[in-house]
Chains A and B, each alone.
Chain A
């Protein structure tokens, strides 16, 4: 019996050892492949095939079938044969698995945050010279010059090119409720309190019940529009080469106290800690709450949703610039942009860059927004008409908004969006998100929630948060 057991252990050990050797060998060969890919690209003289392998999270068709049509449409418009992989879910996981298993892509669509990680790993092709030498991309009408600062590294290198115009977040108010209650647009934190309290107490939906909240959020997702009252920027700021978290400083105490007052008085939705953004939007759309904090694009989508349900609705969502700061300025948050990047092992990097340039042309923008000709829309004498499929896809195939001023939106923008975007252009700036933000965020959230829900005095919470 013992001998038999020993034999089984021996077989198991041999299997494990064999697989381990195989594993080591695999790793080595992949490493070599990567290096070879870079060397090839450095050759420069090689003629490239006009084919591209792309992986994207939001760019492409809405279904696998439409994705096939999307690939054909790119080929029709550019002459480049494209294989576009667009996972239905878990994009980051699938991107990680595909790239690390040795699959070679010419183009990847990733967020700026992921781009920073990839730059750190040295796996992206620098595009600085190409961007500066590109007639299309260096045109400030196509991409405003000041926007490039968003994707530049500290040493001025550019590794990614915007896939679309990325908006930002802001307080969104029920403007029809403001009008109904005869309230002016709030400017200071005190004004906000007055408005939000009125939304709770003055029955803005007119159903005779006290069933409305002033403000709802999805956790600590987006409170920049209120912390602006103390002149505090969300996440990190860099001061004299040192990173600081303004939300964990003493200056943040009055804002936490203000939020705690809202929570205590039932003005802040009691489910704010457990809400996801979907629940928060539902509350806004179903007349349960008068203000949420969300993306500029959603001002239009919220208005449109209610308009489609009832063409005579009085519902009117409107973006606000947030509470004014001590210096008289507002402070909103720009979202991290999505970018096209070319990995170092791309087989056709020149074609990939040609595609990026095309993506910012009229044809590229129409494909990324309206979608596929004769499937999502039809065009006659320069006049566009959406098909039923096109209407369902809401003019978003990865590019709901774009920078190129030479390309006018064929159907205009949804109500309220332009005003919201104007506010962002005026007041919003990017956040600084260095690696390990997730760890810091957890600590900030923990103490922020305690302060807001009255489980700890704001001053103690800030002190402990800063210490952690």
Chain B
């Protein structure tokens, strides 16, 4: 199983976590009901203590092994210093204003894109969002540090930039308009029609 985009990943996550949430609520509810009954409860499964501990350990460790193998950006992120990007965009942010090398920044799908975002004043966030508001990817932008995000776009379309970290109320105007929001700042082409519409 591999998740090409964050949408696919989060759909899977929503289903998996919802099932888990309903399960844990049901287990405690079942438990509460049987705690008050005089008759001995019939347990469907008997979980031994060490089996339970093994389950927790497997859950804690296995979760990371699963995501490392199923989410492509994990290994790419860890190894980004050794990967040659196809595109490099040096972006600056100062006093709540972005300075992009070009707008929109255009790339082809499937290529490796390196975002170098630098700042010399505050801590910001750099996030790319789809037109429907869902998050593609993001990173924190720390002043006077190298903030580099390597990303492969497996989807096409125009993407907006939002700061994903709060940097003070000066990010907004008096009426609450986000001055750091940049519509269609990034464009990915080269996919089929279906994915381009997303």
Q: Answer yes or no: do A and B interact.
A: no
